[in-house]
A and B are shown apart, each in its own frame.
Chain A
Amino acid sequence: MFSKHHFWLAVFLLPLVFGCYPHGAQSYTDYDLVYTNFSDSTNFSQYKTFALPDSVIKITGDVFNNSSGDGKPEFLPPAYSEAILGQIAKNMIAYGWTEVDKNANPDAILLPEVTTTTNIYWYYDWGYWGWYYPGYYPGWGWYYPGYYPPYVSSYTTGTLLIQMTDQKSINVNPQGTVANVPVIWVCILNGLANGSTADVTTRVQNNLDQAFAQSPYLKH
């Protein structure tokens, strides 16, 4: 009496429980992450001007391999680049900064890049920016005063990295060949690179707005 009856009751009840596991992410935006970090020894109010390149580069590996032979890395298609650069400039200007040419002695330079590699180490090859960076020599390097950004891993996903370099505290040796360039702010946007160009750019733009919103110390 006990064994059959109640054994089957238990057997029929169990699948009911397994069948109601809660759901997870529902849309692409649910996968978006916006990360920012900064050097807290930096007083951002002393910086007034910034420069921004006219392209977003693609980081293809820790070492810049100059595959095109002209010293330039790969670039993101203009549809994405323009949306990203425009949104960065808009947010910076809204925070009281003025955009100037890279040769007009900017206080800070913003370097946007997208990774397609599985793992990117933040001390990636400076060669990626040699085509753009004012006064650049191959011996230059980045450093992060007082903080460490995380490793970035990326698979079938898009990751946009932005570094803000401090042009006021740059340490160049007399020959100009070796320099330590402080990176005072970093931003990482991570998420699925799925969807139409319009969808992806809208998400990236919204996430850039979030990156600035969570970095109020950049405001003048």
Chain B
Amino acid sequence: MKTAIIISLLAIGPACGFAQSNFMISYPIGFPMGNLHDYVGSTSFRGINMEFNKIVAPNQTVGLETGWNVFYQHVDKKVYTEGSQSITGVQYRYTNAVPIIAGGKFYFESKKSIHPYVGVGLGTLYVDRTTDFGIYRINTDAWQFCIRPEAGIEARAGSAESFFIGVKYYWAFNTSDLDAQPYLTLNVGFRFTNL
């Protein structure tokens, strides 16, 4: 819940203040990659992503992003063996991933109302991993350094509203507590420009 409050504050708080800015809200479908995929193979359909950007030039923005994806997998009864030890049980695996990223975007000029864009961001990815195994719960969390390239297409729908579809890759880095937990999201959402 604490995480939820932080996300709400980060996302909504700044939206009330600046001028010449935009707010982006999207539904991110998360695809686990690398070590995260080894742990939870399933696609995440649970999540939200929000950005608050300041328009610094007609086709450039800089801003802050946060979001939340829940990766979940139920692993049926299975034998885990290490050396002479074997243990059998059902596992419920959860990974909550919350990026907090500062980044910029560049929108390509176009005569039509469709504008491709690219962007890159730097920040942190908070990862909270929980494994329920029998009556035991194993919990690990980490703040991982994260580089987040993105690309997408925006379609202007009105004077202040746009629809966008894009891809973001959360390239996370190892920490001592947890290996890097990268993932990719397909974001579908809206951009509302402050006028």
A residues in contact (CB < 8 Å) with B: 1-3, 5-7, 9-11, 13-14, 17-18, 20-22, 24-25, 29-40, 147, 157, 190-192, 210, 214-215
Contact = CB atoms under 8 A, between A and B. Distances in A.
A14 B135 contact: no
B15 A13 contact: no
B29 to A, nearest CB: 13
Closest 6 CB pairs of A and B: A33-B134, A22-B72, A34-B88, A33-B89, A214-B86, A2-B194
B192 interface: yes
A2 B195 CA distance: 8
Contacts, number: 98
A10 B189 CA distance: 12
Contacts of A215: 86
Contacts of B90: 25, 29-32
B133 interface: yes
Q: Describe B's contact surface by its main secondary structure.
A: strand
A106 B101 CA distance: 67
Nearest to A210: B88
Interface string B71-87: 01000000101011111
Taking residues whose C-beta sits less than 8 angstroms from the other chain, chain B's interface range is 35 or more
B135 A157 contact: yes
Contacts of A30: 90, 92
B132 interface: yes
Nearest to A217: B84
B73 to A, nearest CB: 9
A95 B160 CA distance: 75
B88 A214 contact: yes
B56 interface: no
B12 A7 contact: yes
Nearest to B44: A22
B192 to A, nearest CB: 5
Given A6-B23, A17-B46, A35-B88, 12 more contacts: A1-B160, A6-B192, A7-B16, A9-B25, A10-B25, A11-B12, A13-B25, A32-B89, A33-B88, A37-B85, A190-B134, A192-B135
